[in-house]
Structure 1
Amino acid sequence: GSTLQARLRYREKSNYVYRGLVLQSICINLLHAKGLAETQGMTSLRNYIRKLLDETLEEKPSKSSKELVERKEFREIIRITKESKVEHPKISRIMSLVSQRIDSNPDSKIMVFAQYRDTCDLLVDKLSTISNAKVEKLIGQSKGGLKQKEQILMLDRFRNGDCNILVSTSVGEEGLDISSTDLVIFYEPVPSEIRTIQRRGRTGRKNDGEVYILVAINTMDEAFEKTAEDKEEKMRSRLEKLNYELSRTVMKPADRGQLNL
């Protein structure tokens, strides 16, 4: 991919380069669709397919989208997603965890993190069917999201108990004043030690809390989880080394001139 882009920058406008870029774009789209199917569920996959189909209806559709949706294999994918009534097993797992927590403690406050807004919408719909569940969705301001004033009002409802389940994208990881929660659930792992720690930090501020990270086996979830764990371990190792070095540092006494001052 980078080689093709470089050749294009150097004004090599051969059919070989353009064809390579089209195929690369098709592969990226397919890889993303595969990831959605494996880690998010049919609803997210259907919405992504709809987006690709809408792109082909634009005045100047991309060649990659147009070629992809015309393939018979892609048409078969469309048929399967339309007929499938099954959602990802993560949905039922989250509903079980949330239901058990609310049944055991009706005053619990729960946060569920998901990477995609489509997944957030689905989670809000599903979790709202649980008895005594008062669910809200916290998303960022871009692309028709929540304005800052709306975010603040929502967080106020979460703090005072008018809402006891907050489904959030990455906007809920930092920078917002969110009261401590009893339970934090990651719909998927994130390949960042900082974001993982920030999400975990939303629970247990006042009392003990629990954190669950849902991982679909043999998918990118496992790779992301391993990446975050490795990065966090390296970060902790560096901090321990730094702390050890600082603890061994002996402050040099001021020289005579400084003492005379």
Structure 2
Amino acid sequence: MMSDSGRNASMGLKGMINQMFTLLASVAHGLDLLKYHGIVPFYRHMLHFKANDGKKGGKYLKQIVENEHFKKLLQHIEPWSKAPDFIGHPKLEYLKSVILNHFLDAGEGNEQADGTNRTATRVMIFVHFRDSAEEVTRVLKRYDPMIRPHIFVGQSSAKGSEGMNQKTQLDIITKFKNGTYNTLVATSIGEEGLDIGEVDRIVCYDSSASPIRMLQRMGRTGRKRAGNITLLVMKGKEEDSYIKAKDNYEKMQQIIASGTRFTYHDDRSARILPAGIRPVADKRIVDIPIENSQPEMPEPKRKGRVPKRPPKVFHMPDNVETGFTRASTLGDDGAPKKKKTKSKNSSEPVLPRKRTGEVTPEPVDIPPPSSVYLARDQQRMLDDRMEKTGPIQDTIPQIGSSPRQLHPERVIQRVHHSSTTNRTVAALQKLSQVSSEAVDRYQRIFEGYPLVDLDGLDD
């Protein structure tokens, strides 16, 4: 990805390569479990690897899962993993002999001076993975009651394994101190931060390249009495990791002892104590008060989801309408109107929906024809008025440069709807053909003269 071809590649190619390397990393982790932890942890990892086929696996994962060699491998290992006496790694065989010899030398199982058959010796085994811790616990439980092992993991849950809350962890540590369990198989949770008590033997089932982690593991023993440390290392990667961690630890101790690699700026940062004072350590025995011993730590409560508030309860009368009701939907009596249900096959026309606040006009009865049509006297008066020039001048507005602006076709249409005579229509048609000069001349002649009754005159 850091090369030029990787930076210039398309996003599709980068995604394909990332998917392939993620798949190969999961397979490589299974090989590490097989070489350094055992067959059973490897088999569990392969089952989880196969289970991802239907969730987030791509075509490359399907190619591995559907391969005949992969299927034969799982079929060959499955009966071994279910056998109770199966030991899938040389480390387990050697670990079993080391723990048995330790408790036999300590006299575990023999009657003690206090009348019990339990000794005060304790053993702690550190394992990197939970699958390996469960396998070690399964192998050592076969030698119960001499070996009484128990697994000790963190609070977070992993694939196929649930975590332990703080209350369970403190209960296991208390039983380990009291002798209910004499062997504790722990992951990294047991390296620091917990008061586990005096441990006589530490067994590191696998090595780590970190010198701090190795130092924390070894620091669990040799506190009040002499302790022993057993480190199980396979040739290859584990041996190289242990040598690297050991070299780093020794190198850091040499640097601290020499003091040549550190520069102290006394002029910039003043000392807490003056330069001339040399404190002397005073060894005393401090008694811890009972209130500060804290035999049982309270388990922190996890914040859950806030529960929903229950719905409000209203004490209403019987048969009362609840909820929001629009004022437009109320009837005369104040009750909401019932909606009319219309069938799908109805042939009634669908009316448009009424807008909010719109008032629907009420229908009016059809008037009788006698009140709408003109009477004979009214019709005769209208005809006489339309024949005269006065009404024409009153109805027609000011004319412009051309008499065609009067739109006689509109006037004719309106007059026709008013039941006018044919003479009126013909007069208007002739009027539309009058030139503008004639119109100006007639306006100058009749300007200021009163209207004259032209009945009886010739055309």
Superposition TM-score tier, normalisation by shorter sequence: 0.7 to 0.9
Q: What SS does the aligned partner of 1:206 have?
A: coil
CA distance in 2 between counterparts of 1:103 and 1:121 reads 24
Structure 1: 5+ residue stretches without partners: none
- Greater RCO (Cα-Cα under 8 Å, separation 6 or more): 1
Structure 2 counterpart of 1:125, which letter? R
Q: Is the 8 A contact 2:198 2:223 kept in 1?
A: yes
Moved more, 72-81 or 146-155: 72-81
Q: State yes or no: 1:135 paired with 2:149.
A: yes
**Whose radius of gyration is greater, 1 or 2?**
2
Listed as ranges, the matches of 1:226-237 within 5 Å are 226-237=243-254
Q: Pick the aligned partner of 1:205 from 223, 227, 241.
A: 223
Shift of 1:73: 4.0
1:94 deviation in Å?
0.8
Q: Which moved more, 1:84-93 or 1:181-190?
A: 84-93
CA contact (8 A) 1:26 1:68 kept: no
Q: Which of 130, 135, 140 is equivalent to 1:117?
A: 130
Map residues 41-56 of structure 1 onto 2, 5 A cutoff.
Answer: 41-56=38-53
Offset, 1:75: 3.1
Instruction: Please give the secondary structure, in 2, of the residue aligned with 1:212.
Output: strand
Give the C-alpha shift of residue 204 in structure 1: 0.9
Given that residues 182 and 210 in structure 1 are in contact (C-alpha distance below 8 angstroms), is that contact kept between their aligned partners in structure 2?
yes
Give the AA of the match of 1:180.
Answer: E
Do residues 182 (structure 1) and 196 (structure 2) align? Answer: no
The residue aligned with 2:66 is: 70
- Matched to 2:71, the amino acid is R
Change (3 A) 1:93 1:237: same
The aligned residue for residue 193 of structure 1 is: 211
Partner-residue secondary structure (3-state), 1:136:
strand
* Distance of 2:240 and 2:63 partners within structure 1: 30
Compute the displacement of 1:86 (Å).
5.0
Which residue of 2 is the match for residue 159 of structure 1? 177
Question: CA separation in 2, counterparts of 1:80 and 1:2?
Answer: 41
**Relative to 1, partners in 2 of residues 1:2 and 1:36: Cα closer, same or farther, differing over 3 Å?**
farther
Cα distance in 2 for partners of 1:27, 1:245 equals 42
In the alignment, residue 20 of structure 2 is paired with which amino acid?
Answer: L
Deviations 1:34-87 (A, max 9, x none): 1011001011000000001111122x4345533332334433432443355551
Amino acid at match of 1:74: F
Measured against aligned partners, the alpha-carbon deviations of 1:17-36 in whole angstroms (never above 9, x if no partner) come to: 23322321232122111101
Q: Which moved more, 1:163-172 or 1:223-232?
A: 223-232
Higher mean C-alpha displacement, 63-72 vs 144-153: 63-72
TM-score (norm 1): 0.84
Please state whether the residue corresponding to 1:184 is helix, strand or coil: strand
> CA RMSD, aligned part only?
2.7
Q: Secondary structure at the residue paired with 2:92?
A: helix
Query: What SS class does the counterpart of residue 137 from structure 1 fall into?
Result: strand
Q: Give the count of matched residue pairs.
A: 245
Structure 2 distance, partners of 1:79, 1:223, is 34
- 2:10 equivalent in structure 1: 12
User: Who is 1:224 aligned against?
Assistant: 241
Output the amino acid matched with 1:46: Y
Match of 2:232 in 1: 214
Query: How far 1:133 sits from its partner (Å)?
Result: 1.4
Q: Partner of 1:129: helix, strand, or coil?
A: helix
Is the alpha carbon distance of 1:87 and 1:63 closer, same or farther for their aligned partners in structure 2, counting shifts above 3 Å?
same
The answer to whether the 8 Å contact 2:202/2:218 transfers is yes
Query: Alpha-carbon deviation of 1:188?
Result: 0.6
Give the Cα–Cα distance (whole angstroms) in 2 for the partners of residues 177 and 86 of structure 1. Answer: 32
Give the secondary-structure state (helix, strand or coil) at the position aligned to 2:226.
Answer: coil
Which string of whole-angstrom CA distances, capped at 9 and with x for unpartnered residues, describes residues 96-128 of structure 1?
010001111122200011111111111111111
Contact 2:149 2:184 in 1 (8 A): yes
Amino acid at match of 1:13: M
Counterpart CA distance in 1 for 2:122 and 2:87 is 29
Runs of 4+ in 1 over 4 A off after TM superposition: 1-4, 83-86
Structure 1 residue aligned with 2:351: none
Question: CA contact under 8 A between 2:87 and 2:93: conserved in structure 1?
Answer: no
The answer to whether the 8 Å contact 2:255/2:261 transfers is: no
Extract unaligned runs of 5+ from structure 2: 81-85, 109-118, 275-459
Q: Aligned letter for 1:99?
A: L
Deviates more, 1:75-84 or 1:220-229: 75-84
The amino acid that maps onto 2:153 is I
Measure, in 2, the Cα distance between the counterparts of 1:133 and 1:44.
Answer: 22
1:11: Cα distance to partner?
8.6
Change in Cα spacing, 1:83 to 1:110, as seen in structure 2 (3 Å) is same
Structure 2 distance, partners of 1:170, 1:64, is 34
Residues 217-257 of structure 1, C-alpha deviation per residue, up to 9 Å, x if partnerless?
Answer: 23x21222122112212221222123x789xx9x99x9xxx
Q: Determine if contact 2:233/2:239 at 8 Å carries over to the other structure.
A: yes
C-alpha distance 192-13 of structure 1, shift in aligned 2 (>3 A): same
Alignment check: 8 A CA contact 2:206 2:233 kept: yes
What secondary structure is seen at the aligned counterpart in 1 of 2:230? strand
Change (3 A) 1:3 1:129: farther
